[in-house]
Amino acid sequence: MAWTQKILRVNLTDGTAKSEPLNMEWAAEYLGQRGLATKYLMEEMDPKVDPLSADNKLIFTTGPLTGTCASTAGRYSVVTKGPLTGAIACSNSGGFLGPELKSAGWDMIIFEGQAPDPVYLYVEDDKAELRPADAIWGKSVWETDAILHKAHQDPQLRIACVGRSAEQGCLYAGVVNDLHRAAGRSGVGTVMAAKNLKAVAVRGTKGVGNIKDPARFFQAVADGKAVLAENAVTGQGLPAFGTQVLMNVINEAGALPTRNMREVQFEGAGKISGEAMKEKRPTDGRSNLVTNAACFSCTIACGRISVIDQGHFTIANKPEYWGASGGLEYEAAWALGSDTGVDDLDALTYANFVCNEDGFDPISFGSTLAAAMELYENGHITDKETGGLSLKFGSAEALTKAAELVASGEGFGKDLGMGSKRLCEKYGHPDLAMHVKGQEFPAYDPRGIQGMGLTYATSNRGACHLRSYTVASEILGIPEKTDPLVAEGKPGLVKAFQDATAAVDSSGLCLFTTFAWSLENIAPQVDAACEGEWSAETLAEVGERIWNLERQFNLAAGFTAKDDTLPKRFFKEAAASGPAEGKVSAVVEMLPEYYELRGWSSDGVPTDETCQRLGL
Ligand code: SF4
């Protein structure tokens, strides 16, 4: 069966934790994780609720393959209504928390209400109880992890928690597990903190089983692993350079967003790239990258473990940062680096450490800081508003100090913690915020990669690269090469990527497998593990159902087709260099075809026929 078929429902208001059966009819329609949790949310909650009220629900959810021996089967998601956007929020994380939850016997935890005082949830197999969080409230992620491990005297305890930024109301705070793996986007940690829930600590000893056909499953898993090992991206590029393999590639393609997305190429890209992370520093003779690392059961191992030069200005007097910790992924390196104009690799690494330590999204943080830098450059904010912080593009001091302020919620950190949309609205220049539906852009300029413009505009959780990664096709030629500067054919490409991604995100597997795997590689693994019949076509249909359900959630929350757009910059300011020179985004031209392919009205609403076909 793969699913444990058990949900833990925790009511924080009255302090209860109860077991209930998983709805297997819904599991057959939505598979698990992202899809299944969204179904629960839609059925149980009014999408109009205030995200930070007791009425919002917060779901920790695994997929049917989570915790199995399939490669990358370590994923879980946190699903809720997001405070940054007011839209559906689903944020996915690796590490070891998801498999531990599954091993304790649970597919999902649904948190309801709001605790009167700070608590954490302790789960040990069937036992689940809320405990006072007095000793950890106000502490960072790293401190919380250490305190709980010491208190429980169990090194195998897996902990997911929020840091100080979430407690301080930063709207893009995440949930961090295993110290530096995070359900990082859309403010799911802010919702958790608003519920007075500091941490979830899990110990599972039951193991993960219930595989429908173990012999066939092992074969399908072995076949899948062989494909990953033989592929140039998953077998070589990602293990060697992580996602940072992309920094120079995207810069050369003229799609590396730079200085609040005014430019599309960064002169300092080489200094903050995956290659640079491996070079020995002249200052201390060590490289930034110590080793790669893997999440549970992953044979790709794209994770980065880094050290900062002990003499660097950020940590010279802070020995607590002298050890190795989670290093830069491409998204963090871009947002903290080219978008702020900073090319100091160790400063970026320090800012990234702080994001992990106090649990906030480096993409939204870097992008919000970049917007603040443009406001500052244009004189719309001054030292008076920033508390004396000189927010010049390229300033490593400004970057690292700003990260510290967001972590603690002090001074201008409060403004930065609002996200770019609210920040730029507050200071009278909303057009300087690079966001969709309130969430900041990721690392691909939509003028240089046209499919990503449509991806961002239509993404159900706001601007995001993990909802349809057309970069794979438009830049890397996976599964086939398309021209990144051409809009023709992109609506169909975006739809196909969106549906496939929703299915992968619901399985328990990592999206990075899709550099090598199609649904044809994933279906045999799901089919051998799960009750029912699961082909590539079934998975694509499940993905399409999930996409439409998320759309329905957002429509019910108050979004309309008017929100399927990009900031004016991408329509009015053409790319000034590189292959995309002279190009603007063609989102407006692509949208009607996209709606038609989706089976939506010209207002972006799923038609009755589409809903009927998908069983919505
Ligand atoms: S590919 Fe990277 S992010 Fe995905 S499971 Fe493996 S180590 Fe984790």
615: left (phi over 0), alpha (psi -120 to 50) or beta: left
Structure tokens at 265: 């190429």
- Atom 4 of ligand 1, nearest CA residue: 510
Residues with CB under 6 A from ligand 1: 72, 74, 94, 294-295, 298, 300-303, 510, 512
- The per-residue pLDDT for 324 is 96
Ligand 1 nearest-atom number relative to CA 510? 4
Cβ count near 585 (within 10 Å): 28
What is the C-alpha separation between 363 and 147, in angstroms, rounded? 28
How far apart CA 541 and CA 417 sit, in angstroms, is 38
Whether the CB-CB separation of 59 and 188 falls below 8 Å is answered with no
Nearest CA, atom 5, ligand 1: 72
Paired residues of 462 in beta bridges:
460
The atom number, within ligand 1, closest to the CA of 95 reads: 8
Q: Which helix (H) or strand (E) holds 359?
A: none
Under 8 Å between Cβ of 409 and 169:
yes
Ligand 1 nearest atom to the CA of residue 297, by list position: 5
Structure token digits, residue 576: 């000034």
The ligand 1 atom at the shortest distance from the C-alpha of residue 242 is 2
At 210, list the tokens: 């219930």
Give the chain's length: 616
- With the most atoms of ligand 1 within 8 angstroms of its CB, the residue from 75, 328, 510 to mutate is 510
Residue 125 Cα to chain centre, angstroms = 28
Cα–ligand 1 centroid distance for 78 (angstroms): 17
Q: Give the type of residue at 315.
A: I
- The pLDDT averaged over each successive group of 10 residues in the chain (616 residues) is 93 98 98 98 98 98 97 98 97 97 98 98 98 98 98 96 98 97 96 98 93 97 98 95 95 97 98 97 95 96 96 96 96 97 98 97 98 98 96 98 98 98 98 97 96 97 92 93 96 97 97 96 98 97 98 98 97 97 97 98 97 96
Distance, CA of 212 to CA of 194 (rounded, Å): 40
The ligand 1 atom at the shortest distance from the C-alpha of residue 293 is: 7
Q: How far apart are the CA of 300 and the centre of ligand 1, in A?
A: 6
Ligand 1: distance of its center to the CA of 557 in Å?
33
- pLDDT value for 1: 61
One-letter amino acid of 97: L
CB-based contacts of 282: which residues, under 8 Å, 6+ apart? none
Residue bearing tokens 């940054």? 84
CA distance 297 to 309: 31
Count Cβ atoms within 10 A of the Cβ of residue 61 and give its class: 0-12 exposed, 13-18 middle, 19 or more buried. Answer: buried
Place of tokens 């169990």: 154
Contact 5, 21 (CB under 8 A): yes
- What separation in Å is there between the alpha carbon of 177 and the centre of ligand 1? 14
Nearest in space to 243 (alpha carbons), one of 332, 172, 336, 307 = 332
Distance (Å) from CA 235 to ligand 1 centroid: 12
Q: Is 3 within 8 Å of 55 (Cβ atoms)?
A: no
Residue for token digits 């292959």? 579
- The β-bridge relationship of strands 127-132 and 303-306 is unpaired
214 CB neighbour count, 10 Å cutoff? 12
Candidate from 512, 515, 517 with most ligand 1 atoms within 8 A of CB, to mutate: 512
How many whole angstroms separate alpha carbon 109 and alpha carbon 92? 15
> Cβ contacts of residue 451 below 8 Å, gap of 6+?
468, 470, 471, 473, 474, 482, 484, 490, 493, 494
Mutation test residue for ligand 1: of 93, 302, 329, 501, the one with most atoms within 8 Å of CB: 302
Going through 82-118 in order, the beta strands assigned E by DSSP cover 88-93, 108-112
Task: Report pTM.
Answer: 0.97
Q: What is the pLDDT of residue 210?
A: 87
d(CA 495, CA 499): 6
Contacts of 232 (CB under 8 A, 6+ apart): none
Q: Which amino acid is at 520?
A: E
pLDDT given at position 614 = 97
| DSSP code, position 270 | G
**Tokens linked to 430:** 């909303």
Distance between CA atoms of 11 and 18, rounded to whole angstroms?
9
Rounded distance from Cα 243 to ligand 1 centre (Å): 10
Residue nearest to atom 8 of ligand 1 (CA): 295
What is the largest distance, in Å, between two alpha-carbon atoms of the chain? 67
Q: In angstroms, what is the span from residue 178 Cα to ligand 1's centroid?
A: 13
46: alpha, beta or left, given left = phi > 0 and alpha = psi -120 to 50? beta
